[in-house]
A = this chain, B = another copy of it.
Amino acid sequence: MTETLRSSPATLHDVAREAGVSLATASRSLNGSTRKVNEDYRARVLAAAERLGYVANLSAQTIAKGTSSTLALLVSDIADPYFAAIAAGVLSGAEQAGLITTMGITQRSAERELDLVKTLRGQRPRVLILTGSRYVDAALDEALTRELQAFESTGGRVVMVSQRSLPFDTVQTDNYGGARELAESLVGQGYRSFAALTGVSSLMTARDRLAGFRDGLAAHGLSLPDERVVETEFTRAGGYDGAGRLVAGGLGDAELLFAVNDVMAVGAMSRLREEGVDVPSSLAVAGFDDISTARDVTPALSTVRLPLEQVGAAAIELALSGQRGDEPTLVTLGGEVVLRASTPARG
């Protein structure tokens, strides 16, 4: 009758019997709030639990207590370093808070996101964190909002990590401000003429960064001519293609190319090299995000570093601390301009 021969997990009942105490005493010894149990009994219970390999059934505890110790996290794509970094922050924060986290991948699909929210609500998590750019489907957005509000109305907390577009607490990075600062730094480096690679305009992230960059230039009386802005995909391949289109259309007097994220910038650099456009002497390049590749490309890429792990941590903090007010809270984390070899100072 050793532990390894059982075919179903030991229950609290088993432990109580093995220790010769009541169910309640066993419960109190193992998980009970404050010690209110004879040290002698307690030891016997612990020993019995150890002997039986007992592990409390979390589902049962959740049911009995009426509150779970779970956090649900939704990300677009965990293999994307951007989300991976945020997830890392969330996971470590959750663990510190004693929460187990369950994760779902939306694959950048609003339908899947909605489905996952429904599924994960079944867990009765204490917190639901949604990460990733919002979509533009109004119907789906509305359905999602309803679902999330229902969740909140039953005691759950939802935190969005992205742009503030739905009426929930959200943590965002300062895309506009970071891009604006980047532009100003670049002007400080002596650049005067610019081109840009941006994502589809429905992506708020892309829009905000481009707007910030533009305004940063405008502050110095400079501008980004529309014909030098190419809209492409938010990926490495998009950057590669976009750079090709830019070159084909003629670089003109452009001195610096701003890509709204690093992977696009890296793709662009690759294409520029193939096209025989030297970076940075013929065209400087700057990105946004500071992915780890940024410092390893040649020349190393100037960019804006986002405190991604902190974003995850902030999301947890927001979710766990205090009550949800009437007005959703908005936490904005600033980026930091990092100038590297891809944008050297100009004569």
Q: A-side interface residues toward B, CB under 8 Å?
A: 3-9, 53, 55-63, 66, 68, 70, 77-79, 81, 84-85, 87-88, 91-92, 95, 100-105, 118-124, 146-147, 149-150, 153-155, 236, 266, 269-270, 273, 292-293, 295-298, 309
Q: A63 — which chain B residues lie within 8 A by C-beta?
A: 57, 59-60, 63
Bound Cα distance from A81 to B85, whole angstroms: 10
Q: A60 — which chain B residues lie within 8 A by C-beta?
A: 59, 63
Q: Given contacts A79-B85, A105-B92, are A56 and B122 in contact (CB under 8 A)?
A: yes
Q: Which residue on B lies nearest to A116, using beta carbons?
A: B95
Copies in the complex: 2
Given contacts A81-B84, A269-B296, A297-B298, 7 further A-B contacts (CB under 8 A): A4-B149, A9-B124, A55-B122, A61-B122, A84-B84, A91-B104, A292-B293
Q: A5 — which chain B residues lie within 8 A by C-beta?
A: 153
Q: Are A120 and B105 in contact (CB under 8 A)?
A: no
24 contacts between A and B (CB under 8 A): A6-B153, A7-B154, A8-B66, A8-B155, A9-B154, A53-B147, A53-B150, A57-B124, A58-B122, A58-B123, A59-B59, A59-B68, A79-B88, A81-B84, A92-B105, A95-B104, A100-B102, A100-B104, A100-B119, A100-B120, A101-B102, A103-B103, A269-B296, A296-B297
Bound Cα distance from A119 to B56, whole angstroms: 9
Q: Are B4 and A153 in contact (CB under 8 A)?
A: yes
Q: Are B91 and A84 in contact (CB under 8 A)?
A: no
